[in-house]
């Protein structure tokens, strides 16, 4: 037998006493295996001379031409725009896209990872959601690209996101430059990297401009309340409690809209008495009155980067270490609410 050519992944798996999926992981070096396993598999590969090309070929042959797209909420315009652009990218390449809506339910996300895996999708794009990718829900070695989520303990994970920290800094700065001194933040009380970064950017801007950080102005809504209704209520409460503020940074446009509704209910003029800025630049931000200042994310850029990265992974192209993560810039859109 020509040892250098004829050994299969299956044979390597048998010889190293691990699963085929594990061998595949080691070959593709995607990190989900122990160092001990890597050594054992590598020694068999070294001995028999299995080449990456063969692995690539074997993987290419099992394409199902479908991908899974996990999204927290398709009824949030920001997510639906991203989903539609990703869907278009793949459909144009003859891939079908199964969209799975998790409603930010962790159990549901895990269940969808499992189902997509069992339906033999070629890869998964996962938008936001839970912090850790439930890799134990995936039995096959398929690529996963995350958007707006920096997976924990995943040194070589693939992800694409906006510069949330910078966006948050710019939003706070916009309010400061327009004269605000007591700036509230209305955000979501969750430990996702996106939420953390947005809070940090706000704090840093206050610090850099020598403004005081007031804990009573850090309004962190529970995830189930982090919608426009929750923002409206919390602003009403803030006013009722007699807490003074002259600017509000809401970490998405829906929450900013709720803030503006709450202010209107209390006959507080925007922007004369309180200035407001949102995040995302969805339809509601320019259709409301007064029109809302916001931070625009590059939705087309995010969709393209994530989709093309997954496509390259599916095609077994080699991805350089510096091409595994992309952080896209954002920009301030100044409208009437911060005039």
CB of 201 to a second copy, least distance (A): 28
H/E element, 174: helix 164-177
Query: Which residue in 96, 136, 266, 323 binds a second copy (CB under 8 A)?
Result: 96
CB of 87 to a second copy, least distance (A): 5
Nearer to a second copy, 57 or 91 (CB): 91
> Given the complex with a second copy, which of 96 and 323 has the nearer CB atom?
96
What CA–CA distance (Å, rounded) separates 257 from 261? Answer: 6
What is the footprint of a second copy within residues 28-87 (CB under 8 A)? 65-66, 73-75, 77, 80-81, 83-84, 87
Helix (H) or strand (E) holding 263, with range, is helix 253-265
If binding is defined by CB under 8 A, does position 138 make contact with a second copy?
A: no
Class of residue 294 by CB neighbours under 10 A (exposed 0-12, middle 13-18, buried 19+): buried
Considering the rule CB under 8 A, would residue 209 count as an interface residue with a second copy?
no
Give dist(CA 211, CA 132) in Å, integer: 35
Among 8, 115, 204, 291, binds a second copy (CB under 8 A): 115
Cβ-contact 281, 253 below 8 angstroms? yes
User: Rule CB under 8 A: is residue 306 a binding residue for a second copy?
Assistant: no
Residue 40 or 335 with smaller CB distance to a second copy: 335
Binding of a second copy by 204 (CB under 8 A): no
Write the burial class of residue 4 (CB in 10 Å: 0-12 exposed, 13-18 middle, 19+ buried). Answer: exposed
Q: How far is the CB of 113 from a second copy (least distance, A)?
A: 10
Q: Among 13, 26, 97, 186, which residue sits at the site for a second copy (rule: CB under 8 A)?
A: 97
Told to check if 288 binds a second copy by CB under 8 A, we report yes
Question: C-beta of 81: minimal distance to a second copy in Å?
Answer: 6
Buried b (16+ CB within 10 A) or exposed e, 105-131: eeebbbebbeebbeeebbbbbbbbbbe
* Residue 99 binds to a second copy (criterion: CB under 8 A): yes
Return the number of the residue (57 or 65) whose C-beta is nearest a second copy. Answer: 65
Interstrand relation of 218-221 and 124-127 (parallel, antiparallel or unpaired): unpaired
Query: What separation in angstroms does the CA of 102 have from each of 106, 110, 127, 128, 310?
Result: 8, 9, 10, 10, 21
- Residues making contact with a second copy (CB under 8 A): 65-66, 73-75, 77, 80-81, 83-84, 87-88, 91, 96-101, 103, 108, 111-112, 115, 119, 257, 284, 287-289
């Amino acid at each position: 037998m020509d040892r250098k050519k004829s050994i299969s992944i299956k044979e390597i798996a048998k010889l190293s006493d691990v699963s085929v999926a594990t061998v595949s992981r080691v070959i593709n070096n995607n990190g989900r295996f122990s160092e001990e396993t890597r050594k054992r598999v590598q020694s068999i590969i070294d001995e028999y001379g299995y080449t990456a090309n063969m692995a690539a070929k074997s993987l290419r042959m099992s394409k199902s031409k479908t991908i899974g797209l996990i999204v927290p909420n398709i009824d949030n315009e920001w997510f639906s725009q991203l989903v539609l652009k990703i869907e278009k990218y793949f459909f144009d390449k003859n891939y079908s896209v199964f969209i799975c809506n998790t409603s930010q339910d962790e159990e549901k996300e895990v269940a969808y990872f499992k189902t997509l895996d069992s339906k033999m999708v070629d890869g998964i794009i996962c938008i936001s959601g839970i912090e850790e990718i439930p890799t134990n829900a995936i039995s096959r070695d398929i690529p996963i690209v995350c958007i707006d989520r920096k997976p924990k303990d995943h040194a070589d994970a693939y992800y694409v996101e906006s510069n949330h920290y910078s966006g948050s800094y710019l939003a706070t700065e916009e309010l400061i430059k327009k004269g605000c001194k007591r700036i509230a933040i209305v955000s979501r009380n969750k430990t996702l990297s996106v939420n953390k970064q947005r809070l940090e950017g706000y704090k840093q801007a206050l610090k850099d401009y020598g403004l005081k950080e007031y804990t009573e102005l850090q309004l962190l809504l529970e995830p189930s309340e982090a919608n426009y209704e929750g923002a409206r209520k919390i602003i009403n409460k803030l006013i009722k409690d007699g807490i003074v503020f002259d600017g509000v940074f809401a970490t998405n446009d829906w929450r900013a809209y709720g803030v503006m509704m709450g202010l209107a209910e209390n006959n507080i003029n925007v922007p004369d008495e309180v200035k407001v800025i949102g995040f995302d630049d969805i339809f509601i931000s320019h259709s409301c009155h007064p029109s809302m200042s916001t931070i625009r994310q590059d939705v087309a850029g995010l969709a393209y980067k994530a989709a093309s990265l997954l496509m390259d992974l599916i095609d077994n192209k080699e991805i350089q270490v510096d091409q595994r993560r992309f952080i896209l810039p954002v920009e301030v859109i100044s409208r009437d609410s911060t005039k």
